[in-house]
Structure 1
Amino acid sequence: MEVLDTSIANVSLPHIAGSLAVSNDEATWVLTSYLVSNAIVVPISGWLSDVMGRKRFYMMSVALFTISSLFCGLAPSLGILVVSRIVQGIGGGGLASSEQSFLADTFPPSQRGTAFAAYGVVVVVAPVIGPSIGGWITDNISWHWIFLINVPVGIISLILVQLLVVEPDALEKERRKRLRKGLKVDGFGFALVALGLGCLEVFMDRGQRDDWFGSSFICTMGLIAAVSLVLLVVWELNRKDPIVDMRLFGVFNFATCFMMMMLVGVIIYGSTQVIPQMLQEVFGYTATDAGLTLTMGGMLSLVAMMMAGVLSSKVQGRWLLAFGFLMQSVGMWIYSHFNVNTAFNQFALARLAQAVGIPFLFVTILTQSYAGLKPERYNHASALMNVARNLGGSIGISASQALLAQREQFHQARLVEGLNPLNPNYVEGLQQIGATLGNPGTGGDPSQTQLATLYQQMSTQAAMLSYIDVFRALMMFMLVAVAMAFLLKPMKGGH
C-alpha cells in the first residue's frame, strides 16, 4: 500500500482540486508533501529501527500510515490533506526498509532470492497499477477512497504483524545494550538529512513545473540540497553512532548495488511516467486504458520474479543484472521505433521485454546488497537501498519530463519550417486533408480547417519524436548499466 500511494493519487489530482476548490498547481502539493516526508524518513529508518526495535518501529509506522490515511480521506480542505499526506509519508517511510530487513533475517542467503522475489512483485507492480486503480476508484466511487482503502488493510497488517513477526533475540539484546550505554541522538545529522533530501525532493518534483533554474525557489532548493548532502556525508563518516551509516559505501558490492538500484528507479519510474503520457497524448488512449496497458506484463513479471529468485543462488549476480538491464534496453529500443501508426502488438512486445527484465534487477540487487554484511547492519542497508530506488525514481521522472519538454519544442520548431507554400509536401498535405474533409459548406473557412488539422498533425508528430528521444536516452543509460553490472564481485560460493 505504501508503494501504491506514491502514484495512486496522480490521476485524481483534478478531482481533488475541484472538490477542495483549489487550482491544479496547488493540488500537486498533495503529491510533493508525501514524497518529501517519505524521502526524509527512509534514510533514518534504519537508525530508528535500531533504537526502537524493528517490530515495534514497523508497527508504529503501519499505525501512523493507517491513521493518516483516514485523515486524508476525510480531509475537508487542502491544508488538512497536505498535513495528513506529510504524516502518511512519515509512516510510509519506515515500512519498506523494515520489511526487507525482516526477510533478510528470516531467510538464509541461499533462500533470500526467492523471498525477495515474492516481495519484489509488489514493489515492481504497485507503482505501475497505482494510476489505474486510482483512476477507477475516482471515476466510480470518490477520490476520498484512494486513501480510505488503506485503513482496513492497515488494521489487518497490524494484527498479522503482532501475531506472526518475531524480533530476533540477537538484535533485541544489541538494542538494549546500546540503550544502556545512553541514547545519543544525532540531531545535526537528522537536520542535514531533512534539509538535504527534503529540498532535493522538492527540487526534483517541482523543477520542471517551475522552470528549473529560471526559478529562484528551485535554485534555492537545489543549493540547500547540495550543501546539506555534502555536509551529511562528512558528518556521518565521523560519527561513532551515525543516523545514516555512510560506511556501508566502503563495502564495494553494496556501493555498486546502490548505484544499480538508482538506475532501476530511473527506468521503472521514468518509463512508468512517460509511457502512459505518450499513449494519451499521441495515441488517444483514455487514462484508464493507458494504465491498463502498463499492467500487461504483470503475470510475466510474476513468473520472471520466481525464476530470478531461484537463479539468484545458482548464477552469478553480474550475469543476472546484465540480462535485466539488457531487457530494459530492448524494451526502450522497441519504443524508440514507434510512430503515430504503431499497432497495439508493438506496445505489448516492448512492455513484455521490460516485464521480463525488471525482476532480475530487483531480486539480484537486494540479494547481493546484503552479502557480507552483519545482521545488525541490515536495517541501515535496507534504508539506503530504498533511498537509492526513490532517488533514482525522482531523477528518472524529472529528467524524462525535462528532456521531453525541450525536445518537443525543438522538433516543433523544425517541423514548422516545412509549413511553407513553396514546399510541395506542404501543398500535398493540405490537398489530402481537403480531400478527406471535403467541402464543409456548413460554416468555417475550409483553408482554416485544413491548416488547423495540419497543425494538429504536426504537433502530434513533434510529440512522438520527443518521446522517441526520451526512449533512446533511457536505452543508452540501460546499455551503460549492462557494462556496469560486471563491476559486481561474485559472492562467496561463486554467486
Structure 2
Amino acid sequence: MSEAPEAGAAKNPWAIAIVVALATFMEVLDTTIANVALRYISGGLAVGPDEAAWVVTSYLVANAIALTASSFLAKRYGRKLFFMASVTLFTIASIACGFAWSLESLLFFRVLQGLGGGGMAPLAQSILADAFPPEKRGQAFALYGVAIVVAPVVGPTLGGWLSDNVSWHWCFLINGPIGVVALLLMGWLLQDSKAAIEERERLKEEGVRFDVVGFLLVATFLGSLEVVLDEGLREDWFDSTLIVTFTTIGAAAFVLMFPWLLTRKNPAVDLTLLKSRQFASCFVVMLGTGAILISTTQFVPQIVQELYGYTATLAGLSLAPGGVVTVCMMVLAGRLSGKVPAKWMIASGAAIITVGMYHLTSLYADSTFWFFASARMWVGAGLPLVFLSITAASYIGIKPDQTDQASAQINMARNVGGSIGVCVAQNVLAHREQFHQTRLVEHIDLANPAYQEAMRAATQAFAARGGGDASGQAMSWIANQVQSQVTFWAYIDVFFVLGLMSAAMIPLAMILRSAKAKPAH
C-alpha cells in the first residue's frame, strides 16, 4: 500500500469518505429493504410468496457476479468512471423497479440493480485506501463500516414503514434522489490516483484483455451457489430438478475455474490472494460475519411478526437500537484499530456477538420489545469490532495493484456468507420444527393424565364463555399451543446455531498476525 494518499489529494479526504459511504449505504440498504415488503409485492403483482422471494435472490445473484468483474473494469477504465457508472446503473434500475408492472419486469430491473451495486462496494474500500494515509485508514474504514453494518438494520425499518404507510414501490424509488446527489458529489470530489492512471495506461498499451472465460466460470459458480442456497429449502433440495441442475452446473464451474484462473496472467479473480494466511483468514471470518449479520437481520423481524403480531414497521424498529450501538462502536473501533491487534478486536467482537445469540436462546412467549432490541444491541456492539478489523487486516501484506481484487473478494465473502447463514438458519428452523412437533405430539394421548387435565380445564373455560362446541374449541386451542411451542423452540435452536457460528470465529481470529506484515514485492 502507498504511504501517502494519492486519490483526492486536492480534495478533503473526509468529504470523499462521506460520499463513498453514502453510495455504499444505498447499495447495502437494498439487500434487506425489500425483505419486509415481499408480501406487499406478492399481492401487488398477483404472484405467490415463493415467486416474490426471487426479488431478493435475483439481486444477490447479480451482485455476486458483478463483484468478480469489478476489479479489472476499474483498472481498465478508471475507478472514478467505473464507480460512477455503477452508481448510475444502480440508480436508474432502482427507479425502474419502483415502476415495474409485472414480476418479470421487476426481476429484470432487480438484476440490473444488483449488477450496478456489485461494482460499488469493493471500489469504495479501494478509494478510501488511496485517499487516506495508513495511520488514518482505520477511522475512514470506520465510517465506511457504519454504512455496511447499519444499512441492513435500517433496511427492514424503512422498508416496513414505507410498505405499511406508502407503497412497496418506494422501497426502490427512494434510491433515486440519493443516487442523483451522490453522483453530483462524486463528479466533483473523486479523482483517480496517479498509480491508478499509470496502471490504466499500461493496460491500454499492452492490450490486456478481460478474462471472459474466467469471469463466466466464477459467475456461473457463484450464481448457481446463490440459487441453490436461496431456493434449496423451498424446492426440497435434491428432490428438485432445479436444485440438481444448478448443483451440477455449479460443481462443474468450480472444478474448471481453479486450473484456469491459476494459469492466467490476468485472471478475472486473483486466487493467489487466498494463499496468504492473513487474507484467507480474513476471508473466512468475513463469511461468518456476513452469515451473522444477514441472518439476524432477517430472523429477528421474522419471529416478532410471526409469533408476536408486530407490524412490519415495529419489527424493523426492534433492530434500530442495535444500529445506534453500532454507530457508537464504529467510532470506538476506529480509534482502537491502530492500537489493538486485529485478532484481539475480532475475538472480542465475536465473543460479544455470541452473548447476544445466547440472550436470544432465552426466548419465551412473553418476551418484550426490549428483549429483542437488547439482543440486537449486543450484536451491534460486536459487529464493528469484527468488521472493521477484517477490512483493515485484509490489506496487510498485499501488493498495491491487488487492492481492488482484495476488496472485491472480501465483499464477495460477505454476500456469500450471508446466503450461507440464511440457508443454515432456514434449514435448522424447518428440521427442528419437525423434530419438536414429533416429540410434543407424543404427549397428546387420551391416556395421558396431563393431557386429560389440560383438555378438561380448557373445555370448562370455553364452556363458561359459551358459543358452541367447547370440546372442539379446547382441542383446537391445545393444537395451537403445541404449534406455538414448536415454533418457539425451533427459533431458539436457530439462535443457538448462530451462536456456535459466532463462537467459532474466536479461535479463527487467533490465526491473524499481531503485527503489520511488510507488503509483498
Q: Give 2:13's aligned residue.
A: none
Q: Summarize the Cα distance change of 1:311–1:82 in structure 2 as closer, same or farther, 3 Å threshold.
A: same
Secondary structure of 1:6's partner? coil
Aligned AA (1:76): W
Distance, in Å, in 1 between the alignment partners of 2:487 and 2:271 is 42
CA distance in 2, matches of 1:349, 1:146: 27
Q: In structure 1, what is the equivalent of residue 212 of structure 2?
A: 187
Q: Which residue of the partner structure matches residue 461 of structure 1?
A: 485
Task: Give the drift of 1:15.
Answer: 2.1
CA 325–32 in structure 1, closer or farther in 2 if over 3 Å, else same: same
Asked if the contact 2:142/2:334 (under 8 Å) is kept, the reply is: yes
User: Which piece of structure 1 moves more, 130-139 or 92-101?
Assistant: 130-139
- Indicate conservation of the 8 Å contact 1:105/1:375, yes or no: no
Of 478, 492, 495, the residue aligned with 2:516 is 492
| Aligned counterparts, 1:20-169, within 5 A | 20-169=45-194
Please state if 1:373 is matched with 2:419.
Answer: no
How far residue 435 of structure 1 moved from its aligned partner, in angstroms, is 4.8
Displacement of 1:438 in angstroms is 4.4
How far apart are the structure 2 equivalents of 1:140 and 1:352?
A: 27
Offset at residue 114 of structure 1 (A): 1.1
Q: Identity over the aligned pairs, expressed in percent?
A: 46
Alignment partners' CA distance in 1, 2:166 and 2:363? 36
Return closer, same or farther for 1:109/1:84 CA change in 2, 3 Å cut-off: same
For these two proteins, the number of residue pairs brought into alignment is: 493
Counterpart CA distance in 1 for 2:482 and 2:361 is: 19
1:283 to 2:308 alignment:
yes
In the TM superposition, what is the alpha-carbon distance from 1:305 to its structure 2 partner? 0.7
CA shift, 1:420, in A, is: 1.3
Match of 2:497 in 1: 473
CA–CA separation in structure 1 for the residues paired with 2:103 and 2:137: 43
For residue 294 of structure 1, report the CA deviation from its aligned partner: 1.3
| 1:122-147 per-position Cα deviation (integer Å, ceiling 9, x unaligned) | 11111122122112112222222111
Q: Distance in 2 between matches of 1:289 and 1:354?
A: 19
User: Shift in Å at residue 493 of structure 1?
Assistant: 8.3
- Do 1:368 and 1:491's aligned partners in 2 also have CA atoms closer than 8 Å? no
TM-superposed CA distance for 1:73, in Å, is: 1.3
Using the TM superposition, name which of 249-258 and 344-353 deviates more.
344-353
1:493–1:236 distance in 2 versus 1, CA, 3 Å? closer
> Could you tell me how far apart the structure 2 residues matched to 1:197 and 1:246 are?
15
Note the 1:255-334 alignment, pairs <5 A. 255-334=280-359
CA contact (8 A) 1:276 1:290 kept: yes
Tell me by how many angstroms 1:320 deviates. Answer: 0.5
State the Cα distance separating 1:198 from its structure 2 match.
0.9
**Unpaired stretches in structure 2, ≥5 consecutive residues:** 1-25
1:422 to 429, 441, 447: 447
Bigger mean CA offset, 87-96 vs 3-12: 3-12
The alpha-carbon deviation at position 436 of structure 1 amounts to 4.2
Is the CA contact (8 Å cut-off) linking 1:63 and 1:154 kept in structure 2?
Answer: yes
Cα pair 2:62 2:223 within 8 Å, conserved: yes
Q: Which amino acid aligns with 1:336?
A: T
Instruction: Give yes or no for the alignment of 1:384 onto 2:392.
Output: no
CA shift for structure 1 position 418: 0.6
Give the 3 Å change call, closer, same or farther, for CA 397–493 of structure 1 in structure 2. Answer: closer
Q: Which residue of the partner structure matches residue 278 of structure 2?
A: 253
Report the AA paired with residue 456 of structure 1.
N
Distance 1:419 1:148 in 2: 51
Task: Give the corresponding residue for 2:431.
Answer: 406
Determine if contact 1:11/1:135 at 8 Å carries over to the other structure: yes
Q: Which residue of 1 aligns with 2:42?
A: 17
Deviation at 1:104, TM superposition (A): 1.1
Residue matched to 2:21: none
Q: What one-letter code is carried by the residue in structure 2 that aligns with 1:251?
A: S
- From the superposition, tell whether residues 342 and 22 of structure 1 become closer, same or farther in structure 2 (CA, over 3 Å): closer
Deviations 1:335-390 (A, max 9, x none): 11222233444323322211110000110000000112222211111100010000
Q: Which amino acid aligns with 1:320?
A: M
Task: Report the 3-state secondary structure (helix = DSSP H, G, I; strand = E; otherwise coil) of the residue aligned with 2:27.
Answer: coil
Residue type matched to 1:458 in 2? V
Counterpart residue identity of residue 117, structure 1: A
Assess if the C-alpha contact under 8 Å between 2:153 and 2:323 holds in 1.
no
User: Are residue 4 (structure 1) and residue 29 (structure 2) matched?
Assistant: yes
| Per-residue Cα deviation, 1:437-486 (whole angstroms, up to 9, x for no partner) | 4433323x101101111111110110111111111111112222111110
Q: Provide the TM-score with structure 1 as the length reference.
A: 0.96
Displacement of 1:226 after TM fit? 2.2
- Distance in 2 (alpha carbons) for counterparts of 1:240 and 1:82: 36
Please give the secondary structure, in 2, of the residue aligned with 1:3. helix
Do 1:54 and 1:167's aligned partners in 2 also have CA atoms closer than 8 Å?
yes
Per-residue Cα deviation, 1:19-46 (whole angstroms, up to 9, x for no partner): 2233332222222221111111112211
The answer to whether the 8 A contact 2:295-2:425 is kept is yes
> Counterpart amino acid of 2:493?
D
Q: 2:475 aligns with which of 448, 451, 459?
A: 451
CA distance in 2, matches of 1:431, 1:331: 40
Taking only aligned residues, the RMSD between alpha carbons, in angstroms, comes to 1.6
What letter is aligned with 1:22? Answer: V
Q: Which amino acid in the other structure matches residue 490 of structure 2?
A: S
Instruction: For 1:230-241, list aligned pairs within 5 A.
Output: 230-241=255-266
Q: 2:460·2:470 contact (CA, 8 Å) conserved in 1? A: no
For each residue in 1:366-423, what CA deviation from the matched residue of structure 2 results, as whole angstroms up to 9, or x when unmatched? 0000112222211111100010000000000011001100100110111011111222
- 2:464 is paired with a residue whose SS is coil
CA distance in structure 2 between the aligned counterparts of 1:149 and 1:52, rounded to whole angstroms: 29
The worse-fitting range, judged by mean Cα deviation, of 35-44 and 360-369 is 35-44
Number of the residue aligned with 2:3? none
Q: Which position in structure 2 is the counterpart of 1:204? A: 229
Give the stretch that moved more between structures: 388-397 or 170-179.
Answer: 170-179
Query: Does the residue aligned with 2:385 lie in a helix, a strand or coil?
Result: helix
1:44 and 1:14 mapped to 2: Cα distance? 33
For the 8 Å contact 1:305–1:360, the answer to whether it is kept is yes
Q: How many Å separate the matches in 1 of 2:81 and 2:143? A: 24
